[in-house]
Amino acid sequence: SIRTVYNFNAGPSALPLPVLEKAQQELVNFRGTGMSIMELSHRSKAYDEVHNDAIARLRKLFSIPENYEVLFLQGGASLQFSMIPMNFLKPTQKAGYLMTGVWAEKAFDEAKLFGEPYEIASTKERNHNTIPNIKDLQYNEDDAYVHLTSNNTIYGTQWKEFPNTGNVPLVADMSSDIMSKPIDVSKFGLIYAGAQKNLGPSGVTVVIIRKDLLEEANSEIPTMLKYNTHAKSNSLYHTPPTFGIYMLGEVLRWIEELGGLEVVAKQNETKAKYIYDVIDGSNGFYIGHAEPASRSYMNITFRLADEELEKKFLAEAQEAGFVGLNGHRSVGGCRASAYNSVPVEACIALSEFMTQFQENNR
């Protein structure tokens, strides 16, 4: 293969080879325009097609109901940490946060600037190795919203079912598992995700927002930071990240051709299982971080007996062509990120490498 490594990066991360090859082929003269997609006006007919095609594919693949807007913004998921409370939280109002990791904490801290966020539940005491039980969650009926992180990229935990928050809008950071499986979008008031893990290159942030919330949003905020500005202009209020949106559309086309989210979800489970099976069958040589019921199918986190052995593992893995297996700089250990575009073969190869490494180092 032209691809010389197995890419397990946490984000930006692997993209499908057929998508990269198509982009390469179309790069210099995009669909008869005589220029690249990056050189086209964002007001041109050729770009308009790309833009609307990406939105339409997202809507169809993710079964997004009619009463939701799909927006392409910039600033990453991190800007959403601020935009959400800026738009929806009033100074004396509360919003409930489910504290399942570092990204949830960052979102919580931003909300303090605008209102009164509080913790509904926290898994901090267990080093975020688990997901709160949805039956135990207490929040107030007049909260502005409830916020959760659907997949905790750093700790390798994932919500398997979502709480039903009734009239309180449920807001979800789905940066690291968006469109890795079908979900019921109608349970959410707002979903957001940076594209750079499951959907495309960095630079595009996808926001899916229920239309009635747009009307209720705070109005005394900067124009660019109002969801409504972007909703009213089909995400063309200003120059959007055109190349990223094109790539996102092509990744979605690739997912469609695979058979859609049901197929992708099964594949993701199978991929993760190859690696979890090695961990579980290793007699403690590999120590999984997440407790089994909360395990992520996207980010598989584990440790070895001691730091020295871990270093050796990471060095030999690198040597053997496995890239990106070091854990997040804040927690250490090892992490294999197996997003939609990571091929099954890469996970099989990693599972075999792990088994062999154990053999050689017992």
Question: Which residues belong to the annotated binding site for L-glutamate?
Answer: 43
Minimum Å gap between C-beta 6 and ligand PMP is 20
Sign of the dihedral defined by the CA atoms of residues 66, 200, 131, 277, in that order = positive
Q: How many chain residues touch ligand PMP (CB under 6 A)?
A: 11
Only one of the segments 55-63, 170-178, 206-214, 330-338 lies at the binding site for ligand PMP (rule: CB under 6 A); that segment is 170-178
Only one of the segments 72-80, 121-129, 180-188, 286-294 lies at the binding site for ligand PMP (rule: CB under 6 A); that segment is 72-80
**What is the C-alpha to C-alpha distance for residues 188 and 31, in angstroms, rounded to an integer?**
37
Whether the link from the prior residue into 240 is cis, omega within 30° of 0, is no
In this complex, which beta carbon is closest to ligand PMP, that of residue 78 or of residue 140? 78
Residue of the chain from 69, 105, 110, 173 that contacts ligand PMP (CB under 6 A): 173
* Residues in the annotated binding site: 43, 77-78, 103, 153, 173, 196
Closest to 17 (Cα-Cα) out of 27, 33, 31, 2: 2
CB 100 within 8 A of CB 124: no
Residue of the chain from 8, 37, 58, 76 that contacts ligand PMP (CB under 6 A): 76
**What is the C-alpha to C-alpha distance for residues 208 and 193, in angstroms, rounded to an integer?**
9
Residue of the chain from 6, 7, 9, 11 that contacts ligand PMP (CB under 6 A): 11
**What is the C-alpha to C-alpha distance for residues 36 and 312, in angstroms, rounded to an integer?**
44
Residue of the chain from 123, 130, 176, 235 that contacts ligand PMP (CB under 6 A): 176
Using rule CB under 6 A, residue 149 touches ligand PMP: yes
**What is the C-alpha to C-alpha distance for residues 138 and 18, in angstroms, rounded to an integer?**
46
Whether the link from the prior residue into 12 is cis, omega within 30° of 0, is yes
Specify the 3-state DSSP secondary structure of 208: strand
**Would you give the DSSP letter of residue 47?**
H
Residues 83-112 touching ligand PMP, rule: CB under 6 A, are: 103
User: Any idea which residues carry the catalytic annotation?
Assistant: 103, 173, 197
Using rule CB under 6 A, residue 153 touches ligand PMP: yes
**What is the C-alpha to C-alpha distance for residues 152 and 197, in angstroms, rounded to an integer?**
13
Provide the binding-site residues for ligand PMP, judged by CB under 6 A. 11, 76-78, 103, 149, 153, 173, 175-176, 194
